Amino acid sequence: MRLRKATALTASAVALALAATACGGGDDEGGDGGGGGEIVIGIKFDQPGLGLMNPDGDYVGFDVDVATYIAGELGYEPDQIVFEEAPSPERENLLSRGDVDMIVASYSISEEREERVDFAGPYFLAHQDLLVRADYEVPDEEAINDMTLCSVSGSTSAANVQRDFAPDAALEEYNTYSECLTGLENGAIDALTTDDSILAGYAAQETHQGKFALAGLQLSDEYYGVGLPKDSEDLDAVNEAITAMVEDGSWDQFVEEHFGPAGYEPEPAPEIGARP
C-alpha cells in the first residue's frame, strides 16, 4: 500500500467516501491517504508512557500519539487507524509480511535492521539504562558483569549487553518487558535493561512507585525510527510528518504529557536522518 499525504482534494474524497459508506462495510484494507480505507500501525501494548493498551481497550502513550499524528498528516482520521501489537522479535516480520503499514514502537534504528526495513526519522533519542529495585545500588558500569539482567528477545538492548558493556553478565530474554518486571519484583533478576524512556514509564506507574529506580547510566544511544517496509515509497511523506510534529510544538506536548509525570527529561528531538 502507498500512503499519501492529505490534500484538499483527498479531504473531499474522504468526506464523500465516508458518506457513501456510512451504512455499509467500509472495511477496505489499506486506503490511499485515508480515502475510505485503514492504516495499520504496529505499537507496543505493554509499555507505560510509550504504548499501552488500557483495560477498556484504548491505547495511550507517546508512541501512540506520534503514530496518530503521522497518520493524520497522511490523511487518516483516528477511526481509520488500526493498532496491532508489535512485539520486539516480530517487528521486521510484521513489516515484511505486510501485516502492518508502519511501526511506531520504541523501534531503535540499527544497521542490521536497515538491511530488512526502512526507517523514517528518527523522532526520539533514548539511552539504555538499568531499572533496579529501589534498595539496590549499581556503583559503576563494571558491576553490571556480576548481575543477572533481563531484556526482551530481539531488542537492541539485549544485544548491547554482552557485546558492548557487560559480556560476563547473566542475561535472561523474555518476550515482553512485563515478564522482566515480574522477575525484578520477585528477585529472580537484578535489573531490567532497556531504554530509559521505557524504564521511566514502568517506574512511574502508580502500582510501582517507590519500588524501582533507574540506575542513571547512559549505556547506549537509541534513535527511535518509524519502521516501514523495505524500499517504501512513503519515506519522505513520513519524514515530513515528523518534521511538522516537531515544528508545530506537538512533539513537546506529547513529551510533557507522557514523560513529565515520571520526572524523565528526554533529549531534544533528533534531526531527521540521524543515526547511531
27-41 tens-digit pLDDT: 444 444 555 699 999
For residue 13, the model assigns a pLDDT of: 38
What is the domain range of residue 188?
A: 126-221
Residue 274 maps to a domain: no
Are both 12 and 115 inside the same structural domain?
A: yes
Are both 114 and 149 inside the same structural domain?
A: no
What total of structural domains would you count in the chain? 2
Reduced to 3 states (helix: H, G, I; strand: E, B; else coil), residue 129 is: strand
Residue 77 maps to a domain: yes
Are both 171 and 58 inside the same structural domain?
A: no
Are both 134 and 254 inside the same structural domain?
A: no
Are both 92 and 80 inside the same structural domain?
A: yes
Residue 93 maps to a domain: yes
* Residues in Cβ contact with 80 at an 8 Å cutoff, skipping those fewer than 6 apart: 31, 34, 37, 38, 39, 71
Rounded to whole angstroms, how far apart are CA atoms 87 and 90? 5
Residue 259: pLDDT band (50, 70, 90) is confident
Reduced to 3 states (helix: H, G, I; strand: E, B; else coil), residue 148 is: strand
For residue 185, the model assigns a pLDDT of: 92
Mean pLDDT of 237-261: 95
Mean pLDDT of 187-212: 89
Residue 178: pLDDT band (50, 70, 90) is confident
Residue 252 maps to a domain: yes
Say whether pLDDT at 186 is over 80.
Answer: yes
For residue 100, the model assigns a pLDDT of: 98
Are both 81 and 130 inside the same structural domain?
A: no
Residue 2: pLDDT band (50, 70, 90) is low
Are both 106 and 229 inside the same structural domain?
A: yes
For residue 177, the model assigns a pLDDT of: 83
> Residue 225's closest CA among 270, 180, 192, 182?
270
Are both 237 and 119 inside the same structural domain?
A: yes
Are both 153 and 31 inside the same structural domain?
A: no
For residue 125, the model assigns a pLDDT of: 98
Mean pLDDT of 79-104: 97
Are both 144 and 205 inside the same structural domain?
A: yes
User: Considering the chain, what is the average pLDDT of its residues?
Assistant: 87
**Strand-strand pairing, 191-195 and 148-152:** parallel
Say whether pLDDT at 19 is over 80.
Answer: no
What CATH number is associated with residue 140?
3.40.190.10
Are both 115 and 231 inside the same structural domain?
A: yes
For residue 3, the model assigns a pLDDT of: 61
Give tens-digit pLDDT for 124-143: 999 999 999 999 999 889 99
Are both 55 and 190 inside the same structural domain?
A: no
For residue 11, the model assigns a pLDDT of: 39
